[in-house]
């Protein structure tokens, strides 16, 4: 790889990037719990990583893979004492997390139904990953830029993208989805891990603009990029890690390890937790309970602050589960073992927050949230059906800033061809 050194883009940003060991210390010091919380009785290792087909994984995969990762809220709804991170005390934000996760699950179910009824070409369900997405999205500030993969609907909705806009691509009425600049949220990419390179490029731009490590919260900016456990094996992802590390780009790589890359179990792709791959690139890696919205929020908040402050990249592995098929074209019962599905259902991200909130929120509030979600689903259906196909020749638009003579010729030919059918 040829690295051209440019003024203002200093490899390694000496004195500002932290080595992994120092970062662990920094996390410990910066985030020492300030309140006493009851320790959960649920053992982190109580849920196994689940069986897989014979001969397809490393037989000696260490038990580390069964570790839940950093956890603040146990599946039974009790708070967990965690030496590195504080439990979010903001009650209103906890309520907002719950509302956002319930909404995402309901909208996801509605979109699945719309696909089954022929209104969408395809749907890519997020069920099970609500905490990983909502907790991390909340940690990003308005200046931060987010690069999703293709399953991050809860990120988009939580960031304020109108629900139906997330369906435009998969209704086949648009090449994209929403106004990227309005939300600082890139459109989806289907080419696995390509977005990690886009994110690092953006992060290097942020460095060149000098918007990292100034100490001014109105200026410092980080980049948050989502990728899957399967995408972690792509060359693009690994090249992105190298570049981000080499230049200290302010990028948080958020890997949602939902245990499956279509029908390939993540254990086949790595015998150790994916977070440990960060060691080899020289930046911090954290394994987090991805079904714990409080832990996801705490860890991503820390990682983004680290990046904004000039500390360089961080990898977070959100240990979660895909509680639905890969897409509506997939039959996951062919490969996801039923007992594995059941074990993860017991760790449901929404149920555990509900158990915590139920200690001081009455049942009527939960009913009200369900009603809001039902209304939002009805509106999503209405708005989806109103998404009409665009004028066909518009697919030739926006290739260049200004239309070329060649494009004009193509448009003329295309319109004449289309009109020949009328
Ligand atoms: C470069 C590339 N190779 C293969 C595919 C086909 N493909 C689409 S999704 C997928 C699995 C991805 O799994 P993972 O990264 O774990 O993300 P998840 O779907 O579980 O969210 C594959 C192989 C693709 N889209 N892009
Ligand atoms: Mg996956």
The reported pLDDT for the residue numbered 414 is 94
The answer to whether residue 89 sits within a structural domain is yes
Cα 231 to middle of ligand 2, angstroms:
8
C-alpha of residue 69 to centroid of ligand 1, in Å: 24
Q: Which residues approach ligand 1 with their CB closer than 6 A?
A: 151, 190-192, 228-231, 258, 260-262, 322, 326
Query: Is residue 391 in a domain?
Result: no
Predicted pLDDT of residue 62: 56
What domain range includes position 205? 70-385
Average of per-residue pLDDT values in the chain? 87
> Does position 363 have pLDDT exceeding 90, yes or no?
yes
The CA 56 to ligand 1 mean position distance, Å, reads 18
Distance of alpha carbon 151 from alpha carbon 130, whole angstroms: 11
- Which pair of structure tokens corresponds to residue 196? 């990690």
For the segment 328-353, the average pLDDT, to the nearest whole number, is 97
Q: How far is CA 3 from the centre of its chain?
A: 29
Closest CA to 231 of 296, 151, 122: 151
Give Cα 55 distance to the centre of its chain.
30
Residue-level pLDDT at 61: 55
* pLDDT over 50 (residue 230): yes
- Does 187 have pLDDT greater than 90? yes
Q: Which of 79-93, 305-319, 374-388 has the lowest mean pLDDT?
A: 79-93
SS (H, E, C) 106-136: HHHHHHHHHHHCCCCCCCCCCCCCHHHHHHH
Q: What is the CATH number of the domain that holds 287?
A: 3.40.50.970
Q: What is the DSSP letter of 186?
A: P
The mean pLDDT of 350-375, rounded to a whole number, is 97
**Smallest CA separation from ligand 1 atom 20, residue:** 261
Give me 302's structure tokens: 């820390």
Q: Is residue 197 a part of any domain in this protein? A: yes
The pLDDT value given to residue 5: 34
Average pLDDT over residues 265-287: 96
Residue 49 domain-assigned (yes or no): no
**Which of 13, 105, 306, 322 does the annotation list as catalytic?**
322
The answer to whether the beta carbons of residues 93 and 139 sit under 8 Å apart is: no
- Report the pLDDT averaged over residues 4-30: 34
pLDDT: which is higher, 46 or 56? 56
> Quick one: which atom of ligand 1 is closest to the CA of 232?
15
* Range with the poorest average pLDDT among 32-46, 284-298, 365-379: 32-46
pLDDT over 50 (residue 65)? yes
Confidence of residue 396 (pLDDT cuts 50, 70, 90): confident
| Residue where the block lists tokens 């958020």 | 254
Residue 24 lies in a domain: no
Instruction: Examine residue 393 and state whether it is found in any structural domain, yes or no.
Output: no
pLDDT for res 76: 97
Identify whether the C-beta of residue 25 lies closer than 8 Å to the C-beta of residue 302: no
Q: Ligand 2 centre from 148 Cα, in Å?
A: 14
pLDDT mean over 282-294: 98
Which residue is closest in CA terms to ligand 1's atom 25? Answer: 191
Going by alpha carbons, the residue nearest to atom 7 of ligand 1 is 192
Q: Is residue 58 situated within a structural domain?
A: no
Alpha helices in 127-250 (DSSP H): 130-139, 153-158, 168-171, 180-183, 194-208, 235-247
Which ligand has the nearest atom to the CA of 129? Answer: 1
Nearest residue by C-alpha to atom 13 in ligand 1: 261
- Assess whether 335 carries a catalytic annotation: yes
Pocket of ligand 1, candidates 122, 194, 230, 259: which has the most ligand atoms within 8 Å of its Cβ, to mutate? 230
CB atoms within 5 A of ion ligand 2 belong to: 228-229, 258, 261
230 CA to centre of ligand 2 in angstroms = 5
Asked if residue 1 has pLDDT above 80, the reply is no
**Residue 44 pLDDT:** 30
What is the reported pLDDT for 322? 98
Is residue 267 within 8 Å of 239, Cβ to Cβ?
no
Looking at all shown ligands, the one closest to residue 152's CA atom is: 1
Number of structural domains, the chain? 1
Closest CA to 283 of 8, 61, 26: 26
pLDDT in tens, 262-275: 999 999 999 999 99
Give the per-residue pLDDT at 251: 99
pLDDT per residue as tens digits for the range 79-136: 999 988 988 889 999 999 999 999 999 999 999 999 999 999 999 999 999 999 999 9
Residue 56: inside a domain: no
Candidate list 16, 143, 198, 335, residue with the active-site label? 335
How far apart CA 225 and CA 245 sit, in angstroms, is: 15
């Amino acid at each position: 790889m040829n690295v051209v050194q440019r003024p203002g883009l200093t490899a390694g940003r000496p004195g500002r990037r932290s080595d992994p060991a120092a970062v662990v210390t920094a996390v410990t010091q910066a985030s020492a719990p300030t309140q006493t919380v009851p320790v959960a009785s649920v053992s982190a290792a109580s849920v196994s990583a689940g069986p897989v087909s014979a001969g397809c994984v490393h037989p000696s995969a260490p038990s580390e893979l069964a570790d839940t990762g950093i956890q603040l809220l146990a599946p039974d709804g009790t708070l967990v004492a965690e030496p590195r991170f504080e439990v979010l005390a903001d009650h209103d934000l906890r309520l907002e997390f719950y509302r956002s996760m319930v909404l995402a699950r309901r909208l996801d179910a509605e979109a699945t139904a719309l696909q089954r009824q022929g209104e969408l070409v395809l749907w890519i369900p997020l069920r099970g990953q609500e905490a990983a997405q909502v907790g991390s999205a909340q940690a990003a500030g308005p200046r931060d830029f987010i690069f999703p993969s293709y399953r991050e609907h809860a990120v988009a909705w939580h960031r304020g993208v109108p629900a139906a806009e997330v369906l435009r691509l998969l209704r086949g009425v648009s090449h994209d989805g929403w106004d990227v600049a309005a939300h600082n949220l890139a459109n989806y990419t289907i080419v696995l891990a390509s977005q990690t390179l886009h994110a690092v490029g953006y992060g290097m731009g942020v460095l060149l603009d000098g918007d990292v490590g100034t100490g001014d919260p109105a200026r410092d900016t980080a980049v948050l990029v989502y990728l899957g456990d399967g995408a972690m094996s792509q060359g693009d992802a690994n090249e992105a890690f190298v570049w981000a590390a080499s230049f200290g780009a302010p990028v948080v790589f958020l890997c949602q390890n939902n245990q499956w890359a279509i029908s390939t179990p993540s254990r086949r792709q790595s015998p150790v937790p994916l977070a440990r791959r960060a060691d080899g690139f020289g930046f911090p890696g954290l394994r987090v309970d991805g079904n714990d919205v409080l832990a996801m929020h705490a860890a991503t908040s820390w990682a983004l602050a680290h990046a904004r402050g000039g500390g360089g990249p961080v990898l977070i592995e959100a240990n979660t589960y895909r509680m639905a098929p890969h897409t509506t074209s997939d039959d996951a019962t062919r490969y996801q073992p039923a007992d594995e599905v059941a074990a993860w259902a017991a760790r449901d991200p929404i149920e555990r927050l509900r158990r915590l909130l139920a200690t001081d929120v009455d049942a009527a509030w939960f009913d009200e949230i369900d009603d809001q979600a039902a209304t939002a689903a009805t509106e999503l259906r209405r708005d989806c059906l109103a998404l009409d196909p665009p004028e066909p020749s518009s697919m030739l638009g926006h290739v260049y800033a200004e239309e070329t003579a060649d494009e004009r010729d193509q448009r003329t030919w295309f319109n004449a061809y289309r009109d020949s059918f009328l």
